[in-house]
Each structure stands twice: as structure tokens, then as C-alpha cells.
Amino acid sequence: MIKVALVDDQYLVRAGLRALLERAEDITVVGEAEDGAGAVALVRTERPDLVLMDIRMPGVDGLTATRRIVADADLRAVKVVMLTTFDTDEHVFDAIRAGAAGFLLKDVSPDELRQAVRVVACGEALLSPAVTRRVMTAAIKASPIGPTSLPELTDREREVLVEVAAGRSNDEIAATLFISPATARTYVSRLLAKLHARDRSQLVVLAYESGLVRAGGM
């Protein structure tokens, strides 16, 4: 069972998300909060697998709450997915760097919502092509520090990192590079360890920031 916490300052949004999520037999909502401070307290109490976190809230916003959750070693297993109204939200890049596992638009379809929860709970990143382009643009503007900023990676690890930056799943990486899905998972795990990245979303940022992947290179 995938345990989900809902954080949004609008009650109707939370109620709608709960109703849609709990139609799935493998998902349960363990709690709700209306601001970032409440979100951190809720996560520490309930230890959900995933938090659906609104970015823009009065008081402690979603970005600050995400940073607090990510900084808590006891909550390392909790994944945060940011909720936003627009795929051009200017906080996309900052939130991913803060540790968010991805983004979800509030007008997502019910099936897409439930599938997104499953995808992130399984360890995949949730970055739509539009959001990936946003991350790419922000990373390039952030004064890339060059490929030498990456530790020693093998040629195969670099190939896998490029595929991760393109938003591909482990199965898609395996098919592209002619390796098994298990081997793809192993390479991704190595990259997370070597680059000290919390999740695949941060690998995407590192790939662009380092210059390994550039605009038009995907």
C-alpha cells in the first residue's frame, strides 16, 4: 500500500485529490495539511511514502517545507511531488534542487494522478517534457561549472546519465542501451551514490549543470 500525504491550502483541492487517489486499491491517504509547517509535522508523524505538496501557500510555502523534509535524515525515504497550476512555474528548478522528486499539474487526469503516485513511489522521477525543458533552461542560466565537476564516471555511466536526463525510465534506458532492466537499475543506483543525488530528478539537474547534456542534445 502506498501511503500519501496531501498538502494544499485549499480544502476542495485536498478533498478532490483524496477522492481520486483512494479509488485505487493500492493507495491510501494518511493525512492532510494546509501549509508547509503542517506538512513537515504531518510527515514526521505519519511517515508517508509520498507527499503531494502545493508550491504556493501562505506562511511556510511548499518549497521551504520540501527543504525541511529533505534535510531530515529520518525522512530520507519520503518523496515529495510538487503540485502546481502551470508547467512554467518559476520555482520548478529550485524545488528539484531542494529535493522534489517531480512535478504534477493540478489539472492532471485521475488515471495520470494515480499512475504518477505509483511511478514516484517506485523510485522514478516525474518530469514531463515541459518541466524538463524548464529545468534545462534554468540549469544553463545558472553558470554551468563544466564536465570536470563530475567525479570519475565510466563511459557507460555517462551514457546512462544522459538517458536519465532525457526523462527515460529504467526499462526505456535498458532498451536504448541494449542492457537488462536490472543492469539499468544498478547503473542508476551507482550514479545516485557517486553524485550524492537524492533521486533521479537531481540527476537530471546535475547532467545539465555539468554540461554533460546541453540544449538540443536530447
Per-residue pLDDT reduced to its tens digit, 35-57: 999 999 999 999 999 999 998 89
CATH architecture of 137-209: Orthogonal Bundle (1.10)
pLDDT recorded at residue 143:
47
Containing 184, the helix (H) or strand (E) segment is helix 181-194
Fold match, 2-126 / 137-209:
no
Residue in the structure block whose three cell numbers are 498538502 = 7
- What is the CATH number assigned to the segment(s) 2-126? 3.40.50.2300
- What does the pLDDT average to over 48-76? 92
pLDDT recorded at residue 196:
86
Domains of the chain, residue spans: 2-126, 137-209
Quote helix, strand, coil % in the chain, to nearest 5.
50, 15, 35
pLDDT at position 156 over 60 = yes
pLDDT at position 145 over 60 = no
In contact, 84 and 103? CB cutoff 8 Å: yes
- Cα torsion at 55, 192, 175, 217 (round to 10°)? 70
pLDDT at position 200 over 90 = no
- What does the pLDDT average to over 89-109? 78
* Amino acid, single-letter form, for residue 214: R
pLDDT recorded at residue 119:
85
pLDDT recorded at residue 136:
58
